Chain A
C-alpha cells in the first residue's frame, strides 16, 4: 500500500470518527450554540430597546463613526474581551460532551459494536479529544460569526433609518472580523490549556457507572480537601489556581501565540492530560 493511500485511508477514518461524534451529539454541538447565541442577541436587543430614541441614535453614532480611522488590530482586543463569555460557553459545551462521551458508549452498549470495528481504542478516544479541542470551537465560532453578521447588518440598517452616517463601517467590520478570529484562537488555546481537565473528565467518563461529571468534579474537590486535612498542604489547589487567570485563556495577538503554545505550563499540562487520556484509553479494555 503506497504512502498516499495510507494517508487517504487515515484521513477518511478520522473524518468518519469526527462526523460520528457530530451526528451523535447534534443537540449539544449544533442546537445548544444556536440557542445560546440567539438568547445573547435577543438579550442585547431587549436591553437596547430600554433606551430612548435619542440615546439609541447616540449609541449607533458612537458605534458607526467613532471607530473611523482607528487601527482594527488595536481595537480588536476590546471586542475579544467583550466576547469572552462565549469562551465560557464553548468550554462548558466541550466538558459536558466529554463527560458523556465514553459513558454513553458503555450505557447504551454501543461500546461492543465499536469494539468489533477495525478502529482502535486509542483512535476512538483521541477522536473525542479532537472533537472537544477543535470541532466544538469551530462549530461554535461559525454559529457566532453568522449571528454577529446578522446582528451587524440589522444594526447598520437600523442606524441608516435613524439618519446616522456609517463612516466607520469598514473599520468596524475589520475589528469584528479580527475579534472573532481571536475568539476562535482563544477557544482552541483554552481547550489545549485545559487538557488536564479534558483527560480528567474522560477518565471519569470511562470509569464512573453513573453521573460521571459529578464524580469528576466531586472527586477533585474531595482529593483537594483530603490533601489539606491529611497532609496540611494545598498543592492541588495551588496548581489549579496557577492555571486560572482569565488572561491565560484569551488570545489578543498572533505574535506571542507560538510562545504560549510551547510554554512550559502548556507542555506540562499536555503531559498530565496525556497520562489521564492514556488511562481512559486503557480503561476501555475493561467491559462493565
Chain B
C-alpha cells in the first residue's frame, strides 16, 4: 500500500523496502554496493571464462628495427 512522506509524495513499497534495508545507513549501503560489484565480477568471470592478460607485453601494434648505421652512430 502506498503512503505519503512529509513532502506529500507517494512512497512505494519498493522504496520503503530499500530505505529499511540497503539505504538504512551508510554501512549497509557500502556493503550492498561492494557485494553487488563483486557478485557481478564473479558471475561475469565464470560466464566468459575470463583470463589474465597482464603478461601480454608483446607489442601488437608495431615493431622496431634499428638499422646498423643508426646503432653505430649512437655508440
Partner of B57, one of A61, A246, A276, A286: A246
Report the bound CA distance from A235 to B42 in whole Å. Answer: 6
Q: How large is the interface on B (under 10, 10 to 19, 20 to 34, 35 or more residues)?
A: 20 to 34
Interface residues of A in 78-113 (CB under 8 A from B): 78, 81
Instruction: Say whether A275 contacts B29, CB under 8 Å.
Output: no
Question: Which residues from chain B contact A241 at a C-beta distance below 8 Å?
Answer: 52-54
- The answer to the question of B1 belonging to the interface, with a C-beta cut-off of 8 Å to chain A, is no
- The answer to the question of A147 belonging to the interface, with a C-beta cut-off of 8 Å to chain B, is no
Interface of A is mostly: helix
- The answer to the question of B4 belonging to the interface, with a C-beta cut-off of 8 Å to chain A, is no
Task: Name which residue of chain A comes closest to B27, CB basis.
Answer: A207
| Known A239-B41, A244-B53: A62·B26 in contact at CB below 8 Å | no
Interface of B is mostly: helix
- The answer to the question of A31 belonging to the interface, with a C-beta cut-off of 8 Å to chain B, is no
Question: Which residues from chain A contact B25 at a C-beta distance below 8 Å?
Answer: 286
| Known A66-B70, A241-B53, A247-B60: A236·B41 in contact at CB below 8 Å | yes
Instruction: Say whether A223 contacts B64, CB under 8 Å.
Output: no
Partner of B38, one of A203, A223, A247: A223
Scan B32-75; emit 1 where CB is below 8 A from any A CB, else 0: 11101110111011100011111011011110100000100110
Interface residues of A (CB under 8 A from B): 58-59, 61-62, 66, 74, 77-78, 81, 196, 203, 207, 223, 233, 235-239, 241-248, 250, 252-253, 268, 271-272, 275-276, 278-279, 282-283, 285-286
The 9 closest A-B pairs by CB, nearest first: A279-B33, A241-B52, A244-B54, A286-B26, A241-B54, A245-B53, A235-B45, A245-B56, A235-B42
> What are 29 A-B interface contacts by the 8 Å CB criterion?
A58-B73, A62-B70, A62-B74, A66-B70, A81-B59, A203-B34, A207-B26, A235-B41, A235-B42, A236-B38, A236-B41, A239-B50, A242-B53, A242-B54, A244-B52, A244-B54, A245-B56, A245-B57, A250-B61, A268-B44, A271-B40, A272-B40, A276-B37, A279-B30, A279-B33, A282-B23, A283-B29, A283-B30, A285-B23
